Amino acid sequence: MQTRLRQPQTQPISLVAYDLWKEYGDRTVVQGVSFTLNPGEVLGVLGPNGAGKTTTVGMLYGSVLPTRGFVQIGDYQVQNQGREARSYLGIVTQEDNLDPDFTVFENLLHFAHHYRITGNAARARASELLAQVNLQDYAKNQVDELSGGMKRRLVLARALINQPSIIFLDEPTTGLDPDARQDFWKLVTQLKQGGAGVLLTTHYMDEAQRLCDRLLLMQHGRVVDEGTPTELIERTVGKEVIEVEGVDEQQLQQLASQYQTWYRSFGSGYLLGLPDNAIWEQLTHLNAPSLSRRPTNLEDVFLRLTGESLAQP
């Protein structure tokens, strides 16, 4: 796909989340989440199903009211100056919520009206955005005639109608095929290069590793760690791990303690830290039915920190 997103003509704006909490009845689903999203960076929020990612994103733009804490976007506080704060935002939610009664072009025009962009200005902006996401040939089509990937691109185009400084992408590529995901990644990279701050929740580790400058790892409503993907991998799980099946947990526990490393249940076996070759040598003598070593990834980071696997789409 030959797409090129124009650099946003908006000023660089930061978002700061201060100590966000959310309670539903006696359940606390977000517990003291704080972070900054800077202009020109992609910040990823990762965590298992139910970790509180979507609730946190909802509090960032005001669809969910925090029990405690607040969000500052530029000079405005989302919780009491929502309209002004949201004028800086573009939001891609998990649902497409495109209007099936309108054509592709009309969907953009309709949304432009929310921002008081009307008449020729709205038509020009809609045409420009359709070209940028490579949907110019589908302007007159009904939304139902688009593929999943095209719909996601249209939702992104719609979110860009007001030239936002900050863009929220809540699991934007779930359900897309690999080519459509790569196309979407290119668009996100261009937005970041244009100076926008992008906050992304995703279930895909390759997406997080490839797109995100920084990651927040969430579990049970809390941020359990944060850093660049490389930092998180190096300091949590090192360069390589061992996958082993068919060994006794007690034996593994002893080995891990002898070599001052860690292990976690993983699939039908275990994942084990590999501080040096000695532990590998020892394991090869156990005649385990399945034993291998491989480079580490973000999934291993999450497993080591929380004992849980990351969310499934």
Ligand X SMILES: Nc1ncnc2c1ncn2[C@@H]1O[C@H](COP(=O)(O)OP(=O)(O)OP(=O)(O)O)[C@@H](O)[C@H]1O
5-24 positions binding ligand X, by CB under 6 A: 24
DSSP 251: H
Helix (H) or strand (E) holding 83: helix 82-86
Residue placing its CB nearer to ligand X in the complex, 63 or 141: 63
Distance in Å, CB of 49 to ligand X, minimum: 4
Distance in Å, CB of 176 to ligand X, minimum: 17
Residue placing its CB nearer to ligand X in the complex, 25 or 178: 25
DSSP string, 173-220: TTT--HHHHHHHHHHHHHHHHTT-EEEEE-S-HHHHHHH-SEEEEEET
Measured at the CA of 54, the angle between CA 48 and CA 59, to 5 degrees, comes to 140
**Binding residues for ligand X, how many (CB under 6 A)?**
11
**168 near ligand X, judged by CB under 6 A:** no
Distance in Å, CB of 283 to ligand X, minimum: 35
28-47 positions binding ligand X, by CB under 6 A: 29, 47
Which residues, at least 6 apart from 32, have a Cβ–Cβ distance to it below 8 Å?
19, 20, 21, 69, 222
Distance in Å, CB of 199 to ligand X, minimum: 13
Cβ atoms < 10 Å from Cβ of 33: 25
Residue placing its CB nearer to ligand X in the complex, 53 or 158: 53
Distance in Å, CB of 84 to ligand X, minimum: 25
Residue placing its CB nearer to ligand X in the complex, 74 or 221: 221
Residue pair 228/215 in contact (Cβ under 8 Å)? The answer is yes
What does the buried/exposed string (b/e) look like for 105-139 if buried means 16 or more CB atoms within 10 Å of the residue's CB?
bbbbbbbbeeeebeeeebeebbebbbbbbbbeebe
Q: Tell me the per-residue interface mask from 44 to 83 with ligand X, x by CB under 6 A, - otherwise.
A: ---x-xxxxxxx----------------------------
Distance in Å, CB of 111 to ligand X, minimum: 24
Q: Which amino acid is at 147?
A: S
Residue placing its CB nearer to ligand X in the complex, 52 or 197: 52
250-279 positions binding ligand X, by CB under 6 A: none
Tokens of 209: 């590793």
CA 54 to chain centroid: 10
Distance CA 112, CA 114 (A): 5
Q: Which neighbouring-strand residues pair with 213?
A: none
Residue placing its CB nearer to ligand X in the complex, 47 or 229: 47
Which residues, at least 6 apart from 75, have a Cβ–Cβ distance to it below 8 Å?
none
Distance in Å, CB of 30 to ligand X, minimum: 7
Residue placing its CB nearer to ligand X in the complex, 125 or 152: 152
Query: Which positions lie near ligand X, rule CB under 6 A?
Result: 24, 29, 47, 49-55, 311
